Amino acid sequence: MSETKKAWILLADGTLLEGESFGAEGTSVGEIVFNTGMTGYQEVLTDPSYYGQIVIQTYPLIGNYGINYDDMESGRSWVNGYIVSEWCREPSNFRVAMTVDAFLKEQGIISISGINTRKLTKKIRETGVMNGAVTTEYSEEKRGEFLQKIQEFTIQNAVKTVSCRVPEKVISSGSKRHVVLIDFGYKRNIVRSLTSRGCDVTVVPSHYTAEQVLSFHPDGIMLSNGPGDPAENNDIIKNIKKLTKANIPIFGICLGHQLMALATGAKTEKLKYGHRGANQPVLDVAKDRTYITSQNHGYAVVTDSLDSKTALLSHVNANDGTVEGVKYKNFPCFTVQFHPEASAGPKDTAYLFDEFIAMMEKEAQ
């Protein structure tokens, strides 16, 4: 076995942790967040919503079923760094194509193992998300230089960076409806969830105007998930506001949920450490039933900012009471903060896609 190489985590508050390098070598700065999922590390690594972030996996063993090409949520990894307690060198899965280490090397993701992820996660929970660096190049002489880069780091142009550049159409076997999916950093399973229900899907770039979106003559519009501060997307918010006047059914997920809220006059706020994992309990108010959901977000809609004349609170986080879903009264639209396509329960909240289909069918009559 080759000799292990050291790696370090340096936090904005000066905390220094030493571990072992795996994946790529070098230095990467980002916002450090944690994910509590027991499985789904490949989906985490390829979810565009993690753009600009260094991810801690709280589950102690990562990589035990390796990496395959079928479960990629996008064409590449978007994380700025990866922190685990232990990674598996000999994965077992009939679909395995490579180890997590090989994948991270291929993607150029600087990673560290041998870390007490429980202790680090507790620190983030207590102090809130903070910037940090994962590096194989640390020295005391460079400490000041590292800390300056860490403190100056901000996530910029997130949606623009992860969004597609040109439209792409995916044809379903049924071709009953046509949905335009505005790509703020979408996950592939959103498209699969729609095509499996007979919807052709046209994925369009985030910067497309309302007029460009409507030129595809969609039966419905989806606002995808994505990274960054939702309030920074001023032009997108203006376009969404125009789309609400077209009387076409709209379904928003995660960032799409937040952007719709902003377009209708509500506000968003940054959470202390966000919701990231496959075990977030959410109450569906109308059904009076709690579902286990998959989530990945650092911002939330401010409850008191929702206008009761136009917006109805449909879902609530059972842990902290934050907004998890909104139904709009003046136009056909509903949005959720969680990921119904992510099969956390495993398919508890897939009914929302069925409701979207039903809404399109109703409007078509």
CA-CA distance, 83 to 343, in Å (whole number)? 24
Write out the two tokens for 91: 């994965």
DSSP 69: S
Task: Classify 307 as helix, strand or coil.
Answer: coil
Structural contact between residues 326 and 335, judged by C-beta atoms closer than 8 angstroms: yes
Helical segments of the chain, H only: 41-45, 100-107, 117-127, 143-152, 158-162, 188-195, 210-214, 234-243, 255-263, 351-364
Instruction: Tally Cβ neighbours within 10 Å of residue 85.
Output: 19
Asked if 192 and 221 count as a contact pair (C-beta separation under 8 A), the reply is no
C-alpha span between 282 and 297 (Å, rounded): 14
Which of 32, 38, 78 minimizes the C-alpha distance to 62? Answer: 38
The strand ranges marked E within the chain are 6-11, 16-23, 27-35, 53-57, 61-62, 81-83, 86-87, 110-113, 130-135, 168-170, 177-183, 199-205, 220-223, 250-253, 268-284, 289-301, 311-317, 323-328, 333-336
Measured CA to CA, the distance from residue 154 to residue 158 in angstroms comes to 10
Distance CA 362, CA 45 (A): 38
> Under a CB-based contact definition with an 8 Å cutoff, are residues 219 and 360 in contact?
yes
Considering 43, 73, 86, 341, which one is annotated as catalytic? 341
- Which of 254, 275, 315, 324 is catalytic? The answer is 254
Structure tokens at 327: 């139904």
Q: Per the omega criterion (within 30 degrees of 0), is the bond before 346 cis?
A: yes
Please say whether the beta carbons of 238 and 261 come within 8 A.
no
Q: Active site includes 341?
A: yes
Active site residue 339: yes
Catalytic residue among 178, 257, 297, 339: 339
How would you write the pLDDT of the chain (365 residues) with one tens digit per residue?
Answer: 457 899 999 999 999 999 999 999 999 999 999 999 999 999 999 999 999 999 999 999 999 999 999 999 999 999 999 999 999 999 999 999 999 999 999 999 999 999 999 999 999 999 999 999 999 999 999 999 999 999 999 999 999 999 999 999 999 998 999 999 999 999 999 999 999 999 999 999 999 999 999 999 999 999 999 999 999 999 999 999 999 999 999 999 999 999 999 999 999 999 999 999 988 999 999 999 999 999 999 999 999 999 999 999 999 999 999 999 999 999 999 999 999 998 655 678 999 999 999 999 998 87
Going by C-alpha positions, the residue among 282, 335, 339 that lies closest to residue 312 is 335
